[in-house]
Amino acid sequence: MTPTDIDKVFRDEAGRALATLIRLVGDFDLAEDALQDAFAVALERWSVCELPGNPRAWLVNVARNKAIDRVRRQAAFRGKQQALLHELELNAQAPAEPPAMLDDDMLRLIFTCCHPAFASEVQVALTLRTVCGLSTAQVARAFLVSEDAMGQRLVRAKQKIRLAGIPYEVPEPDALAPRLDGVLAVIYLVFTEGYVATSGADLMRPDLAAEAIRLARLLDRLMPDRAAIKGLLALMLLHDARRAGRETAAGDIVLLEEQDRSLWDRAQIEEGSRLVDDALRMPGRPQPYVVQAAIAALHARAPSYGQTDWPQIAGLYEVLVRINPSPVIELNHAAAISMVDGPARALDLVDATAARGGLDGYELLPAVRADLLRRLGRKQEARDAYAAATAATQLEPLRRLYARRVREMGD
């Protein structure tokens, strides 16, 4: 095998091998170091002979022996390490574990990295490093911080797992739903980070959107009976399928109404739509990710902006406003209403929501008002709103878009 092939095997197996090792050796750092040792052995061995039948089992086995060596090498054996060594050696003699146990290891790792005792950016960093197997340097680039700073953050997080007694387990059934929401929030954060960041010039920057989709697929396979997971996976697939049409080569935003729909990834849209259907058929209360994905599917499958099923989209936003209210949802609801009942009705809705304080501090509010005023032909008010929208954003592409709108309106 070539080093590139071996690298791919490492990349595919690292997360799952690490998940099992952590359970076997009971320590994040020891497991990581031992797995690195095993990679070094594999790199040597696999380049001259064939890949073993089950590379992950091979890696776990070699790494476990390396972990035993590492603990043995530590000069003074003290009570705790003696016990650990004993346990490790006992484990090493145990027969191979059933695959279900190994699936649980991966869930254990995901739930531990996304533990609510960590700040959300720490959850994201830990997940990218240990579950996705990104290097510390790659995670640092994703957060736009130095490798040293990210290394420190990861070390502190792993120390907290050990010292504060964060258990390496899948939450009990009565705690599972809120903890799963936390995991999904982390995956979505990874995705949106990648989604916004695709305009970056740094080619070395990891494709976070792809990582997020990979994570959601894995989670869906491990917990197939959860509508929220299917919904999130569908939502990300559907957004990602439209990636190619969203931006000009110069980095300008292309609005949905102007996008070339032939650039969209049809196969991915079909996959996302099937997942939405599956999720909608599952019992239980409507899940926000499923409803959002259903809206994304309607957009993605519409032949054109004008021929989009706006009444159904408006209805789905009404459901979202009820189960998961937020300024973004309120404004998107108003935008959908503008396509069904006209911009005047939508403007009333936006102004009524703003008057209730529901949109306070939300920076896209002037932009949405500007668009509605422009469509109503109220040019001076629209110009004022575009000026406010321009002042409210830091993003150059958005500023250029507003300037273009003002130019197109004429005097």
173 is an interface residue for another protein by CB under 8 A:
no
| Sole window of 7-15, 45-53, 167-175, 400-408 interacting with another protein (rule: CB under 8 A) | 167-175
Given the complex with another protein, which of 167 and 342 has the nearer CB atom? 167
Q: For the chain, how big is the Rg over CA atoms in Å?
A: 25
Residue 81 and residue 69 in contact, taking contact as beta carbons nearer than 8 Å: no
The interface with another protein within residues 291-330 (CB under 8 A) comprises: none
Binder of another protein out of 175, 177, 196, 328 (CB under 8 A): 175
Q: Report the half-sphere exposure of 113 (CA within 13 A, side-chain side).
A: 30
Stretch that binds another protein, among 67-75, 78-86, 246-254, 363-371 (CB under 8 A): 78-86
Nearest CA to 285 out of 312, 320, 237 is that of 320
Enter the tokens of residue 46. 């696999």
Does 76 sit near another protein (CB under 8 A)? no
Q: Is 50 exposed, middle or buried (0-12, 13-18, 19+ CB in 10 A)?
A: exposed
Interacting residue with another protein among 166, 209, 216, 296 (CB under 8 A):
166
By the 10 Å C-beta count (0-12 exposed, 13-18 middle, 19+ buried), 174 is classed as exposed
How far apart CA 134 and CA 193 sit, in angstroms, is: 15
Whose tokens are 């970056």? That residue is: 200
Q: Pick the closer one to another protein by CB: 115 or 369.
A: 115
User: Contacts with another protein: how many residues (CB under 8 A)?
Assistant: 12
**Residue 126 in contact with another protein, rule: CB under 8 A:** no
Q: Which is nearer to another protein, 170 or 337 (CB)?
A: 170
- Could you give phi then psi for residue 247, rounded to 5 degrees? -145, 140
| Residue span 190-209 as binding mask against another protein, x where in contact by CB under 8 A, dash where not | --------------------
Contact call for residue 75 and another protein (CB under 8 A): no
- Interior angle at CA 377, CA 372 and CA 382, nearest 5: 55
Least distance from another protein to the Cβ atom of residue 300, Å = 40
Q: How many CB atoms lie within 10 A of CB 395?
A: 12
**The one among 4, 49, 53, 80 contacting another protein by CB under 8 A:** 80
Using rule CB under 8 A, residue 119 touches another protein: no
Stretch that binds another protein, among 21-29, 161-169, 263-271, 319-327 (CB under 8 A): 161-169
Q: Which of 2, 50, 78, 408 binds another protein (CB under 8 A)?
A: 78
- In this structure, the number of other CB atoms found within 10 A of the CB of residue 303 comes to 8
Selected from 49, 100, 164, 201, the binder of another protein by CB under 8 A is 164
Pairwise CA distance, residues 113 & 170, whole Å: 11
Any bridge partners for residue 247, and if so which? 253
- 251 interacts with another protein by CB under 8 A: no
Of 7-15, 75-83, 265-273, 392-400: span binding another protein (CB under 8 A):
75-83
Q: Write out the residues near another protein by the rule CB under 8 A.
A: 78-80, 115, 117, 163-167, 171, 175
